[in-house]
Amino acid sequence: MASFGDGTLNPLIGDGLYFGGDYNPEQWDRETWVEDADLMRKARVNLVSVGIFSWSRIETSEGKYDFEWLDEVLNLLLDRGVYVDLATATASPPAWLIKSDPTVLPVDHDGRRLSFGARQTYCPNSESFRSAASRLVEELVIRYNDFPGLKMWHVSNEYGCHVSRCYCDNCAAKFRLWLQKRYGGIEALNHAWGSAFWSQLYGGFDEINPPRIAPTFANPTQQLDYYRFASDSLRELYEMEAAIIRGHSDKPITTNYMGFFKGVDQFAWRGVGDFVSLDSYPDPHAAQVHVDAAAGYDLTRSVAEGEPWLLMEQAPSAVNWRGINGVKKPGQMRALSLSAVARGANGVMFFQWRAAKAGAEKFHSAMLPHAGAESRIYKEVQQLGDDLTKLSGVASAKVSASVAIVFDWNNWWAIELDSHPTDHIFYLLSIRKFYGSLQRMGITCDFVSPKDDLSKYKAVVAPNLYLCDRDFAKSLTSYVDGGGALLGTYFTGIVDQNDHVVLGGYPGYLRDLFGVLVEEFAPLRPGDGFDFSLVNSPTIHRGTLWSEVVSPTTASVLAKSNDEVGVDSLGVGQGGVLFENSFGRGRALYLATEVEDDFLDIVVERLLGDKFERSASEEVEVVERGQYTFVINHGVEVDFSLNHRQRDLLSGRVLEEAVSLKPYDVLVLEDV
Ligand SMILES: [Zn+2]
């Protein structure tokens, strides 16, 4: 996306909305290809991702290529108006490559070399893998760059999905180089890693290894650096393929991310591709699947710096890789798809076009199910294809959010390391709780990284910001000083970028900003908790998971514990629970325990300085994308009120005042 800032259009703008999915013709015969292309046309499919797992079919042995079948398929598709998102086919190396160099196979944390026969069986730092992948990409790009049906390049697939960290000797050697670049000298590394502890001082980089299985907790900074290194190793693969493609082609480049996936720091990957893509697989059995989905969409738009993005994969119904795989109810797939469009997607794609009859994903739903074209799912796919043609004007509109949630991969990696006060803090759960509160209030939010500019946001929420270095503390401080509203929660400001505790009391560099001093903390056992209330309110709320000895320095106490004796021998329950500090022209709120949703909403309302009254049920998702308002009912039948006359682009009807929404009904409203 390096080109976006200079006025160049996002490559996703200009073609309306894309619709289609992964297509794996290598699993089928010619007769089926023709039927597929005809049925795609019938469903208004205009883009398919081809070749993602085709390496062994394209390069049948080293240097021996077979492109004829691919030529035939791509031409057949183009004849029906179906364009191609052509994969570089490097997502799963072929058996001949493994046989020629078994060190291509990755090694896990416990030292076990993984076997061929699944997918993604490669070490990202294997030179054999890198050079074989490079040759394949070059062959593909030279052959297909001038193919008239080529829309974009799909690099690899779901980087890190199964092997986000490899611990082999290739990786050990690369890790040493990475550390040398990061720290310069061994003394700096010893300082950063706190190696004086447990006699871990290193005399040279050649003594260092990945944090493999060890007698007990491995050095925490070594572990944290290994997360960083592993994400960088995968990014290098993406950069490697992108550079080869750009040497021969000016078609846009993307790879499909997996939303809140721990192995890939998507913010640090900005600028490698030309646009951002997402694979979205929320669990249909989850209580609020649409909120889970929406969070992934908003994260992706945020990684794309507000630009349109592509929903590259989702399931038409069930997946096959959970213990029990829930199906999407009639209409639900459409609702979740249009939610993606509402939140900035310029296309809706699926895994996959035709359901496989063999292999590990044969029970993964597909646009064309085993039952064929007379099925519910294919009919719903057709309807969605029809809907998307009516929304092509949406493609140039953007979503703008006034509230942001801080989401930092470095913090995720660090806060969930071992040897901590509790192993019951899960960063994604904390993020999801605040995201859920904002959704209940009908507020669309962005996610921001510590490097992002916060000044455009009215409020910023930073849950469990355990790792907060001096630079981010400065950024947060100047944001509030300039008039922003910030909310932080317990176990925040504890360590710097090296996972060193910031001394003098928590929350470290943020003490003055929050106007509180935390002297000690006491994590609570599951089922334990303490009561607290807002000052001047009789309503009792419950704190769980965490308690701390926190005193205000300059902040005022908005809520405090009711327990005179406290929750344990520290008496920490007598302290404050919610604080607010005026700082410069803004405010910083600090929440000192884990709370239930009703209190969370009170805190968020206080942060935003508004009382939110929803116009419909909280199961009704309302999102503005430019001049378009998307209204999506994920719950039971409900009435929705309009402020003024608007046209629904999907039905063509002009609506006034109130409209009844059935489950999964969607309106896309524009002023008339
Ligand atoms: Zn490796």
pLDDT at 325: 98
Of the residues 59, 241, 307, 313, which is catalytic? 313
Return d(Cα 219, Cα 224) in angstroms, integer: 9
CA–centroid distance, residue 347 to ligand 1 (Å) = 35
pLDDT at 644: 92
SS3 of 98, please? helix
Of the candidates 478, 470, 463, the one whose C-alpha atom is nearest the C-alpha of residue 546 is: 463
Domain 4-394 classification at class level: alpha beta
User: pLDDT tens-digit profile of 193-246?
Assistant: 999 999 999 999 999 999 999 999 999 999 999 999 999 999 999 999 999 999
How close are the terminal C-alpha atoms of the chain, in Å?
35
CA–centroid distance, residue 173 to ligand 1 (Å) = 9
**491-507 in b/e burial notation, b at 16+ Cβ within 10 A?**
bbbbbbbbbbebeebbb
**5-37 in b/e burial notation, b at 16+ Cβ within 10 A?**
eeeeebbbeeebbbbbbbbbbebbeeeebeebb
Q: What DSSP string describes 622-651?
A: EEEETTEEEEEE-SSSEEEE-SS-EEETTT
Domain ranges of the chain: 4-394, 403-608, 620-671
| Per-chain mean pLDDT for the chain | 95
- Tally of residues, the chain: 672
User: Model confidence at 74, in pLDDT bands (50, 70, 90)?
Assistant: very high
Instruction: Tell me whether strands 654-655 and 64-65 are parallel, antiparallel or unpaired.
Output: unpaired
> Bridge partners of 631?
622, 667
pLDDT at 68: 98
Query: Per-residue pLDDT for 615 more than 80?
Result: no
CA–centroid distance, residue 162 to ligand 1 (Å) = 13
User: pLDDT tens-digit profile of 162-179?
Assistant: 999 999 999 999 999 999
CA–centroid distance, residue 136 to ligand 1 (Å) = 21
pLDDT at 659: 95
Instruction: Let me know: does 566 contact 530? Beta carbons within 8 Å.
Output: yes
Lowest mean pLDDT among 42-56, 145-159, 285-299, 535-549: 535-549
Arch. (CATH architecture) of 620-671: Sandwich (2.60)
Query: Per-residue pLDDT for 3 more than 60?
Result: no
User: pLDDT tens-digit profile of 509-521?
Assistant: 999 999 999 999 9
CA–centroid distance, residue 91 to ligand 1 (Å) = 16
Greatest Cα pair distance, the chain, in angstroms, is 79
Of the candidates 103, 276, 274, the one whose C-alpha atom is nearest the C-alpha of residue 173 is: 103
CA–centroid distance, residue 108 to ligand 1 (Å) = 9
Return d(Cα 543, Cα 647) in angstroms, integer: 46
User: pLDDT tens-digit profile of 570-591?
Assistant: 555 457 999 999 999 999 999 9
CA–centroid distance, residue 126 to ligand 1 (Å) = 6
Of the residues 158, 241, 548, 621, which is catalytic? 158
Sheet of strand 529-534, all strands in order from the earlier edge strand to the far edge: 445-448, 403-406, 459-462, 485-489, 586-591, 576-583, 556-561, 529-534, 541-544, 594-595
Of the candidates 319, 330, 322, 321, the one whose C-alpha atom is nearest the C-alpha of residue 365 is: 319
Please give the structure tokens belonging to residue 346.
């310029």
Residue 519 annotated as catalytic? no
User: Model confidence at 57, in pLDDT bands (50, 70, 90)?
Assistant: very high
Helix (H) or strand (E) holding 535: none
CA–centroid distance, residue 130 to ligand 1 (Å) = 12
pLDDT at 505: 97
Instruction: Let me know: does 338 contact 347? Beta carbons within 8 Å.
Output: no
pLDDT at 1: 34
Protein fold of 403-608: Rossmann fold (3.40.50)
* 659 Ramachandran zone, left/alpha/beta (phi>0; psi -120 to 50): beta
pLDDT at 100: 98
Query: Per-residue pLDDT for 8 more than 60?
Result: no
Question: Within 10 Å of residue 536's Cβ, how many Cβ atoms?
Answer: 6
The CA-atom distances, in angstroms, between 175 and each of 103, 122, 170, 204, 498 are 16, 17, 9, 13, 17
Instruction: Let me know: does 591 contact 488? Beta carbons within 8 Å.
Output: yes
Taking the mean position of all CA atoms in its chain, how far away is CA 120?
A: 20
Rounded mean pLDDT of 317-331?
A: 98
Two domains, one topology: 403-608 and 620-671: no
User: pLDDT tens-digit profile of 427-457?
Assistant: 999 999 999 999 999 999 999 999 999 999 9
Instruction: Let me know: does 289 contact 336? Beta carbons within 8 Å.
Output: yes
Instruction: Let me know: does 645 contact 656? Beta carbons within 8 Å.
Output: yes
Instruction: Let me know: does 288 contact 189? Beta carbons within 8 Å.
Output: no
pLDDT at 10: 74
Query: Per-residue pLDDT for 315 more than 60?
Result: yes
Residue type, 330: P
The residue whose two tokens read 């004086």 is: 196
CA–centroid distance, residue 97 to ligand 1 (Å) = 15
Residue 171 phi, psi (nearest 5) = -70, -35
Instruction: Tell me whether strands 594-595 and 541-544 are parallel, antiparallel or unpaired.
Output: antiparallel
Return d(Cα 668, Cα 649) in angstroms, integer: 5
Return d(Cα 575, Cα 549) in angstroms, integer: 6
Rounded mean pLDDT of 265-285?
A: 97
Residue type, 114: L
Return d(Cα 339, Cα 318) in angstroms, integer: 18
Return d(Cα 21, Cα 508) in angstroms, integer: 48
Residue 374 annotated as catalytic? no
pLDDT at 618: 85
Return d(Cα 566, Cα 232) in angstroms, integer: 46
Rounded mean pLDDT of 626-632?
A: 98
Residue type, 292: D
